[in-house]
Amino acid sequence: MSSGRSTALLTDRYELTMLDAALRDGTAARRCVFEVFARRLPGGRRFGVVSGTGRLLSLLRDFRFGDEELRFLRDARVVEADTLAWLEGYRFSGTVSGYREGELYFPGSPILTVEGTFADAVILETLILSVLNHDSAIATAAARMSIAAAGRPLAEMGSRRAGEESAVAAARAAYIAGFSATSNLEAGRRWGIPTMGTAAHAWTLLHDDEESAFRSQVEALGSGTTLLVDTYDISEGVRAAVRVAGPHLGGVRIDSGDLPTVAAAVRAQLDGLGATRTRITVTSDLDEFAIAALAASPVDAYGVGTSVVTGSGHPTAGMVYKLVAREGVAGGWIPVAKASTEKSSRGGRKRAARVLEAGTATAELIRIIGAGETSTVFDDGVRPLQVVLIQDGETDAVFEGAEGTELARRHHALVRKELPIGGLGLSRSDPAVATVYQEDAPPSEA
């Protein structure tokens, strides 16, 4: 799935200046392993949700330096002529493995592993982190909202609170993590997500009175539509809605007021008017905490905007892209790691699995593997977490497009059932499962 538009300049300048220097000093061809992980979960959250993988694979396919990109780099004197010639033929030829999209992750989880030459892999950092940090933040917030909703449908409607392309990506991430629909039509077209929406307050204000607006909407969309009843007086709006559509009115939407109180009053009023099956949707600045507070209220569905598309206060997942192993001059693998205070990392190539007891996750097992190993056999009772996404430059298309999005949604629904009961809480806490490291073999010598 290719957009035909180059993504090669969606990157930071220092990646190309490192490439330029590496081509000159001979280290560009050195085999390397880069890893994407998060040192901690933002906001004291108990789990994270991997999202953006399917989008990323398509964007990596378009990571090509065409005439326009090369002309800009030359005119801006970003790199030397020899590097421009190298970039002209660039095609990622390495291997990418990682957690499946929709999977849960915890501190230290090797979410994505990129193996190739230094030149191949280093210039992908910004694009990889841009996608995974954004989409995983949205998906994690959306999953918490889905847990709070306890089975009631959630619709994403935050496009007007995000950049135009971020809005499409956010709709996809929210859908993967449990939302059932989006208001964004491009997300529906591009990713196969169900779309929803009827009318805003402007529709009511356009007409001479509320009843005229409702009548016009029902004539256009049928009595199963949802009418927005809080432009003026909510009680009067409910009466007008049932008067126009009859007791088979599909739904009413409330976008203001003290929602638990208002929802209870509207439910009682609808039942009193004979509209016992009319559904109530609320849409007023909701986040996971507001949704949880409505658990006992007669609300049938939620529409969430600003909070979900901004990660509910945490718009980035805090993931980093670090070199964890490189080829030595003698040909062996050398684990490498950053040792900075509070920003340390663990070197070495890794394999990951989730330890399960009676179907419930109890640990994130990360095994640092020895030189030359390409696979790890885990004991019974664990679920391996990594799959190959790109093999020697060839992308596994099963994870892309609308089909890949649906696959990720189904996978998330399955793995979320593995969370221990404490992992479902919304308050600040430690991660739901601990990360445990094992070392298969001592580090190889250079």
pLDDT band of residue 443 (cuts 50, 70, 90) is very low
| HEC letters along 381-428 | CEEECEEEEEECCEECHHHCHHHHHHHHHHHHHHHHCCCCHHHHCCCC
Architecture per CATH, domain 13-138+314-345+386-425, reads as Alpha-Beta Barrel (3.20)
Supply the mean pLDDT for the chain. 95
- The predicted-structure confidence for 227-264, as pLDDT tens digits, reads as follows 999 999 999 999 999 999 999 999 999 999 999 999 99
The whole-number pLDDT of residue 198 equals 96
The pLDDT of residue 391 is 97
Cα–Cα distance between 183 and 277 in angstroms, integer? 24
DSSP state of 445: P
Lowest mean pLDDT of 72-86, 232-246, 331-345, 407-421, name the range. 331-345
Residue type, 22: A
Distance CA 31, CA 15 (A): 17
Give dist(CA 310, CA 285) in Å, integer.
12
pTM of the model: 0.95
The label of the residue with tokens 């949707």 reads: 281
Confidence band for 341, pLDDT divided at 50, 70 and 90: confident
Predicted confidence (pLDDT) at residue 446 exceeds the cutoff of 50? no
Percent of the chain residues topping a pLDDT of 70: 96
Express each pLDDT in 149-204 by its tens digit.
999 999 999 999 999 999 999 999 999 999 999 999 999 999 999 999 999 999 99
Cα distances (Å, whole numbers) of residue 192 to 66, 220, 248, 346, 404 = 30, 25, 30, 39, 10
Return d(Cα 279, Cα 35) in angstroms, integer: 47
With respect to CATH, is domain 198-299 assigned 3.20.20.70? Answer: yes
Residue 251: name the closest of 308, 212, 309, 302 by CA: 302
3-class SS shares of the chain: helix, strand, coil, % to 5: 40, 20, 40
User: Between residues 360 and 371, which one has the greater pLDDT?
Assistant: 360
Judge contact between 327 and 90, C-beta under 8 A: no
Interhelix angle 164-176/125-149, rounded to 10 degrees, is 50
pLDDT of 1: 59
Q: How far is the C-alpha of 410 from the C-alpha of 102, rounded, in Å?
A: 8
Instruction: Give the pLDDT score at 28.
Output: 97
Distances (CA, A) of 178 to 63, 187, 318, 361, 425: 30, 15, 22, 20, 16
pLDDT confidence of residue 442: 47
Nearest to 359 by CA among 409, 406, 421, 408: 421
**Rg, Å, the chain Cα set:** 25
Q: Report the pLDDT averaged over residues 334-346.
A: 83
3-class DSSP assignment, residue 167: helix
Instruction: Summarize pLDDT for 42-95 with one digit per residue, the tens.
Output: 999 999 999 999 999 999 999 999 999 999 999 999 999 999 999 999 999 999
| 445 pLDDT above the threshold of 90 | no
Residue 344: the pLDDT is 75
Return the structure tokens found at 129. Answer: 């982190």
Alpha carbon distance 226, 399 (integer Å): 35
Backbone phi and psi for residue 91, each to the nearest 5 degrees, phi listed first: -140, 125
C-beta separation of 46 from 425 below 8 A? yes
Break the chain into its structural domains and give their ranges.
Answer: 13-138+314-345+386-425, 198-299
| pLDDT tens by residue, 368-405 | 986 555 556 677 789 999 999 999 999 999 999 999 99
Q: What is the pLDDT of residues 109-152, one digit of tens each?
A: 999 999 999 999 999 999 999 999 999 999 999 999 999 999 99
Rounded to whole angstroms, the Cα distance separating 365 from 376 reads 12
Q: What mean pLDDT do residues 348-360 have? A: 96
